[in-house]
Chain A
Amino acid sequence: MIQMRKVSKSYGGAVKAVDSIDLDVRRGEIFGFLGPNGAGKTTSIKMITGILTPDSGDILVNGRDIRKEALAVKRSFGFVPDDPNIFPRLKAIEYLRFMGDIYQVPTDRRRERIQELTERFSLDEALTDRIQSYSHGMRQKLMIIGALLHDPELWILDEPMTGLDPKSAFVLKEMMRTQADSGKTVFFSTHVLDVAEKICDRVAVIDRGRILFCGSIGDMQRQFRQDGSLETMFLELVNHSETAGDPA
């Protein structure tokens, strides 16, 4: 579903935020993207969604290059950024209508989706209010609803769990599962290793712009020849890369 080939990106300076990474996300799986702060997760996601242009390398979404078939690629995914920045002066319902029109969601389908999603995320009582009056978590939920309104075949979520209350986080995890089971694909980044361990089919660990590991949790345990938790293995991976990668 997503293929990254030798993708690099630096922000003007010498440090590469993403350093020649290769990544394959398969159709129908929940793929977790893990790594410490500043590892390059958000940067990678921004390149996949077309917000940033890679310095070098290729990215294919569903076999298409976003630089060549921009609209088709953009229609195929729904994206929720790490910072829930949406138009604060719009009312929530106006925002959803905006997204529905932009993604050309048919009328009856749209009504159904809005009702269903807002109820599941308990936003149905606040739809006529300005987004300005929303809390951080409410904004995040609204963004999730907006991104899923057109029922995309690929979900791209940047740290979707931060800021969500336990019930909403549970709903989201449940939705990710049913989504993947129905043949769609979920790609998300997270710091919460417990979540990753429980719901991901496969994970990748990135640090300082390089992929340290990519595979299922079982693969990781085989590689480490131990039955450790994801947390211990993750810490070991990252510590190891720190001592190995330090030039000094």
Chain B
Amino acid sequence: MTNLVRLAVVLFRGSGTGITAGSGRRRKRSQLGNILLFLFLGIYMVGIMSASSAGLYSLLAANGLQDLMIGLYLSMGTVLVFLFGILYVISVFYFTGDIEKLLPLPLQADEIIGAKLAVTAAWEYLYLAVLVLPPLVVFGILSQAGAGYFLFLAGVFLLLPVVPLCLASMLVMLIMRFTPLARNKDRFNMVSGILAMLLALGFVFGTQSMARFDEMDLAQIISAGSASIAKLTTTVFPGTSFAVGALTAPDALQQLAQLGLLLLIASAAVLVTFRMARLLYFKGVVGVGASAARRRRLSSAELSKAGQGGSAFWTYWLKDVRILIRTPVFFMNNVLMNFLWPVFFVLPMLTSAGGSGGSGALIELARGALADPDGRGAALSLVICFVIACFISGTNGISESALSREGETFYIMKIIPMSWWRQIMAKVTAGLLFSLAGTLLPLVLAVAFLRPPAWLALGWLAVLPGGILMPNLGGFFFELFWPKLHWEHEQKAVKQNLNVLYGMALALLLAALLAGPAVALGLSAAGTALLVGLGSLVVAAAEIVILRRILPGRFAAIEP
């Protein structure tokens, strides 16, 4: 146990985002700046989540359905922890650089896993604190709940991530131990990542179809209370229903009982995970990072294919895309992340709504609001679409780490006969591709479920180009100043790289600067599309001009 704690402390120090980088006086100053940056990002997200949940509250309260919120946000939180958990666990348990140093030490598997779990949990709490806690606090305030509610909320907050995180760990350890994937690393990262996503989708849709079994109408739902909904949405993750119960049960004693059950099930999950770690971890982790060599001669077809000339730009682009997809850390953090947010935001919404009357009512409300060309709903949906595009493009960290990902191979950028500008554009284009894919996914889901009129769907498409270009171009900017080229492990290039955070902050700031006025001025749908769609393209053009101007000087100054 003491080993576990010691190890956790060491790992935690090494897992920061580099907030404490630098030295001397500069270090103090940059530290302050970074803390401010974190605060900005945190407050920004808390603000968005609080405002949107307050909106949802009034919408639901009008129909007496406000208790649904608790089940909704707790199941969102659970899904969030589970999905991030899968990604984190794969990379933290199996693909970080420290593993090769830890394995020879006299440590038990469960000590390593425990320490790594603690580090992962810390990140999960951070996400929950920003994304899920604010709506629940808003609920408490708006429903004028007493101090008891907030006390139980604290308990629920602490216990909520334990079960989904443990489930994620067990799932990953099983996959790594027993599938051929673990032996053939070539395909592993893609397959397991996608598998995890599909699994999560399966869970969510599974619960949804369960919900279809008891077709209840609106009145029944209200009378049955939120508990029945919560049970439906949370069957998959034992514990979440207790979490809901701890917040919604009619009296304190029952709430306490529910919290106790949650504690019990969380402890059981931890114990089982540790036991499983002893059985599975070492056998799964050995040999990770090796790559299968087949040693065979090139067929003449392959040779003639390789001999075929292609455009330098697209070859360069393809090289970047390949590296993004084939490097597990990049794949988890930069590629899958694009598709994870949509799953997290959209699906729980649809499920907790899905099939049964509650959701039906919500979707009907939304459809009505969108159909009116002069109504606020259509204009707001354009803003939301734009912000989602900015958010996904700004948080995937692809353009934001375009140079850092090169690491020791950066010098190649300097010696090949391709202009720096074209190389950079090829890299940004890789970012554009994944941002576009990530943005289209929730858009398609929204079109499928909300069935907006055609003119509105076209409007959503119209705000995308700027919403994707602006953050990708802006995000790259910081790489020209502080590229992180010296790393032993890929993790440092994308996760512990402040440029990613700076890029994210810039993207969110620019999005707010364009979207804010559109909302504040109460513009019509057409006006909104014009302001955010065209405005972001103008910003993107300005970014191109600035980048072109500073590129030669900055690039020459980067000396690997």
Given A124-B297, A125-B297, A102:B303 Cβ within 8 A: no
Given A50-B414, A124-B297, A127-B298, A87:B319 Cβ within 8 A: yes
Q: Is A233 an interface residue (CB 8 A)?
A: no
Given A90-B319, A130-B291, A107:B308 Cβ within 8 A: yes
- Chain B 293-331 against A: per-residue CB contact (8 Å), 1 yes, 0 no? 111111000111011111110011001001100110000
Residues of B within 8 A of A129 (CB): 291-295
Contact B415 A102 (CB under 8 A): no
A49–B411 Cα gap in the complex (Å)? Answer: 10
Given A125-B296, A129-B295, A102:B323 Cβ within 8 A: no
A130–B293 Cα gap in the complex (Å)? Answer: 7
Closest Cβ of chain B to A93, distance in Å, is 5
Interface residue stretch chosen among A78-86, A165-173, A214-222: A78-86
Residues of A within 8 A of B24 (CB): none
Closest Cβ of chain A to B230, distance in Å, is 44
Closest Cβ of chain A to B16, distance in Å, is 26
Interface residue stretch chosen among A56-64, A109-117, A193-201, A237-245: A109-117
Q: Is B143 an interface residue (CB 8 A)?
A: no
A74–B416 Cα gap in the complex (Å)? Answer: 6
- Chain B 414-427 against A: per-residue CB contact (8 Å), 1 yes, 0 no? 11111100000000
A53–B415 Cα gap in the complex (Å)? Answer: 12
Contact A128 B294 (CB under 8 A): yes
* Residues of chain B from 108 to 137 with CB closer than 8 A to chain A in the complex: none
A128–B294 Cα gap in the complex (Å)? Answer: 8
Residues of B within 8 A of A102 (CB): 312, 315-316, 416-418
Closest Cβ of chain B to A44, distance in Å, is 14
For chain B, the bracket of interface size reads 35 or more
Contact B315 A98 (CB under 8 A): yes
> Closest residue of chain B to A126, judged by CB?
B295
Residues of A within 8 A of B414 (CB): 49-51
A104–B303 Cα gap in the complex (Å)? Answer: 17
Closest Cβ of chain A to B433, distance in Å, is 18
Q: Is A136 an interface residue (CB 8 A)?
A: no
A139–B408 Cα gap in the complex (Å)? Answer: 14
Residues of A within 8 A of B557 (CB): 53
> Closest residue of chain A to B319, judged by CB?
A98
Q: Is B559 an interface residue (CB 8 A)?
A: yes
A50–B323 Cα gap in the complex (Å)? Answer: 25
Which of A53, A74, A114, A127 contacts B417 (CB under 8 A)? A74
Residues of B within 8 A of A98 (CB): 315-316, 319
- Chain B 251-263 against A: per-residue CB contact (8 Å), 1 yes, 0 no? 0000000000000
Residues of A within 8 A of B297 (CB): 124-125, 127
Q: Is B560 an interface residue (CB 8 A)?
A: yes
Q: Is B409 an interface residue (CB 8 A)?
A: yes
Residues of A within 8 A of B372 (CB): none
A90–B310 Cα gap in the complex (Å)? Answer: 17
Residues of A within 8 A of B311 (CB): 101
Q: Which residues of A contact B (CB under 8 A)?
A: 46, 49-53, 67, 70-72, 74-75, 79, 81, 83, 85-87, 89-90, 93-94, 96-98, 100-108, 110-111, 114-115, 124-130, 132-133
Some 29 contacts from A to B, beta carbons below 8 A apart, are A49-B414, A50-B414, A50-B415, A51-B411, A51-B559, A74-B416, A74-B417, A81-B411, A83-B408, A89-B322, A89-B326, A90-B319, A90-B322, A93-B306, A94-B306, A100-B307, A102-B315, A102-B316, A102-B417, A107-B307, A110-B306, A110-B309, A111-B304, A114-B303, A125-B296, A127-B297, A129-B291, A129-B293, A133-B292
7 tightest A-B contacts by CB? A111-B307, A101-B315, A133-B293, A74-B417, A89-B326, A85-B408, A132-B291
